[in-house]
Chain A
Amino acid sequence: MTDIVLSIDDLKVALPAWSDRKFAVGGVTLDIRQKEILCIVGESGSGKSMMGKAILGLLPAPHVRAVGGKITFEGRNLLELSDDDMRAIRGGRIAMIFQEPMTALNPLMKVGQQIEEVLEIHTTMSPARRRERVLELIRDVHLPEPERMIASYPHQLSGGQRQRVVIAMALALEPALIIADEPTTALDVTTQAQILHLIKELQRAHGTAVLFITHDFGVVAEIADRVAVMRHGEVVEQGPASQVLVSPQADYTKALVAAVPGLKPRLKELDANSNVLLRVTNLQKTYRTSSGLFGGKVREVHAAKKINLELKRESSLALVGESGSGKSTLARCIIGLESVDSGSIEIDGERISGRTRAELRPFRKHVQMVFQDPYASLNPRQRVGDIIALGPMLNGVGREQAIAEARELLHLVGLKPDAVDRFPHEFSGGQRQRIGIARALAVKPKLIVADEPVSALDVSVQKQVLELLNDLRKSFGLSMLFITHDLRVAATVCEEIAIMQRGEIVERGATAEIFATPSHPYTRSLFEAVPGREWIGSLG
């Protein structure tokens, strides 16, 4: 076939000797055709990113190397090219878009210069002509005020804007192929929707082939022409998107598709007259930079303005919002890590806001938190048993008994009880999150505040952890405040939803009602931004 842009033939990428498996990519064969978006889907450790890097020769040598196979691009095997030839291809014929727009740009260099660098390397354009092209590119990716934009530094732009800059850089020389490595994973949903739209628009306009690496089937449904599913460095299934998404053949693909949280709202299960556990009234919190001894500008950020919330006993409420909406601040106020400016927080009729640290201590055990990052939230030098037992011991339980309870809790969250003697680094992300949940449950709290507890996890693991939280809620009679940016997750877990935007709750109600008739424009825009919502809807 002549319309093949890049063909990967039995590619093998070796991992260093000390890793747990021999190959990051173990014999992948793939073709990317002209004008198509090929999505590589897989969970972390599937080797999808390594494959993308291998194409451009960006593997972290010397530990990780391509050791076998062929990558044919424009008649040449990329694995055998000299450094100089490879450099001419990088940025020129094949460009790359990265996951983290926050760190992908040099913080000390103006954005315009960074885009211009590509032209400088690969062309002989005059400076004036280069500048013109940069402005043109900035307009192409729909960034506002191109003239001002090129003179800005990366830190002056938002995440979405930076990703547009990276895309402009990739487009600069109209490459034949763009490799996009999870380009929207680090962005908010609405921004993600815009960037996906942009990539698709530009891909159509320029007829570029795109290799799109992602872990999110929603994104796949949104953008892919063809799909290849990877697991443990091998392609388990590939085919047209319409086929793989609708009738997956491989068991692994089926499991992944089944793990995608649906958009089916959870219904209210409890009687309306159960009493209120958590009541937040007119809560306000403003962050100020201090003016210092001799003045200087005071900056104010209203993280929470006049927040009112109620959470009934044994129910769960999802707080949905994008980054900067104030949802985490609210959570920190509720668990007493942050003092409030005005308003009150009551738990079980007892006011906990406005208390000193010492006065707050007896109430700490009523509210516990499950944190977002399972890697950073467990002390690496403490044994799992001690991590879990510490809470009860602070509340007067003897060590023997606390450890015994920890064993039971570990069993409850689906880990082996002998995990008490092991250290956190011996566990995977999902297992660590289970430990985090066991730790929170150890003091028998009334309320669990879960701050994005699954957003750092793979979909299949995410599903398991959500199910676990659900089971525990029932068996312990817990109430839960669940903070998330993902409406899909919110829908599966909580029967009530509050949507937050810029420090305010813009809409609140039963999940089913909000899903049926979202009334606030922001809520509607969140729904529209859910990647692959039509496909998810069709899953039923």
Chain B
Amino acid sequence: MKSGSLGSYIVRRLLQTIPVILGVVVVNFLLLQLAPGDLATVLAGEAGGAPKEYIDQLRARFGHDQPVYVQLFNYIKNLLVLDLGYSFRQSAPVLELLLMRLGPTLLLMGSTLVVSLGLGVLMGLLAALWVRTWKDHVISVAAVIVYATPLFWVGLMLVLVFSIWLDWFPTSGMENVVAFHEGWNRVVDIAHHLVLPTITLSLFYLALYARLMRASMLEQRGLDYVTTARAKGQTDRKITTRHVFRNALLPVVTMAGVQTGGLLGGSVVVEAIFAWPGLGQLAYQSLFARDYNLLLGIFFMSAVLVVIVNLIVDVIYVFLDPRIRIG
């Protein structure tokens, strides 16, 4: 069942994502129509005012003079051949801008996922093993506090303490552009810049996964198959590693998949705080510049990202849980 049809399952799931993403695009497009002002007025405003004819001329150039449904139809038609339009604000094709910013965002998301999931699972596991001891209480209380702390505040405090007071990490950016590092030096430099944004973005999810993992471990430990393992004469240590751990991991993996969308949202804030040159920062800028083409492109890219991550999680799930039948 597993190996034979996994390929066709993935293809089918990818096909299913097309209507989902188109739906997201249409909704986003219509929502943006509701926002007051457009690129033409912003440009005119920045120029200190302009005659109405000039604004109309700008609108005609951007195609904004046509009825909404025509604009939508044109947008989707272009989207199908991956033409995401042109950002008049940044004077570059949207796709090009997106691809440039995608790398840093994926880097930030990836490192956050690894740190939050890895440490979260570890913390939850330890808390469950030490349940109702002071060590468990320390972990649990810390998790609740972190869970309740706003992201931007954590970011600002980290910058204040580690960048400004201690001067251990840079305050912003992804690399030291004037140093012209190459090869390994560049990797180290980026990693150095990556630390604070990753911690900021990870903490919330780390706490979430730790709490979930702890609860899941405790629940699994009370189940019948654990009694069976004990009745076999298995040691507590092996019962945890061979039986309980994998079962307890399943809900955490599900949660991690669901949270990817949230991770993208969180990265907007974090990228803004740390001037991280990713999609989030770009979204923030384009929103204020009323650069709707670019904004739509970013939404599109985000939707694709979330859908793909969910697909990856589902495929991982098939390998983790033999009960899941695909098809």
Contact = CB atoms under 8 A, between A and B. Distances in A.
A296 interface: yes
A90 B233 contact: yes
A295 B12 contact: yes
B42 to A, nearest CB: 40
Interface stretch (B96-104, B109-117, B223-231): B223-231
A105 interface: yes
Nearest to A153: B322
A363 interface: no
Nearest to A101: B224
Interface residues of A, number: 33
B31 interface: no
B19 A87 contact: no
The number of chain B residues touching the other chain, given as a range, is 20 to 34
A294 B16 contact: yes
A102 to B, nearest CB: 9
B52 interface: no
Contacts of B65: none
A89 B233 contact: yes
A118 interface: yes
A159 interface: no
Contact of B231 (A58, A88, A292, A297): A58
B228 A153 contact: no
B234 interface: yes
Nearest to A106: B225
Contact of A122 (B12, B230, B233): B233
B15 interface: yes
Contact of B233 (A98, A104, A118): A118
Interface string A286-298: 0000001111110
B232 A117 contact: yes
A244 B283 CA distance: 82
A121 B232 contact: yes
A347 to B, nearest CB: 39
A108 interface: yes
Interface in A29-63: 56, 58
Given A117-B234, A121-B232, A293-B16, 7 more contacts: A88-B233, A106-B247, A108-B247, A117-B229, A117-B242, A118-B233, A297-B327
Interface of B: 12, 15-16, 19, 223-225, 227-235, 242-243, 246-247, 320-323, 327
29 contacts: A58-B231, A87-B234, A90-B232, A90-B233, A91-B231, A91-B233, A91-B234, A92-B233, A96-B228, A98-B227, A100-B224, A104-B224, A104-B225, A106-B243, A106-B247, A107-B225, A107-B323, A108-B246, A108-B247, A108-B320, A108-B321, A108-B322, A109-B242, A118-B233, A121-B233, A155-B322, A169-B232, A296-B12, A297-B327
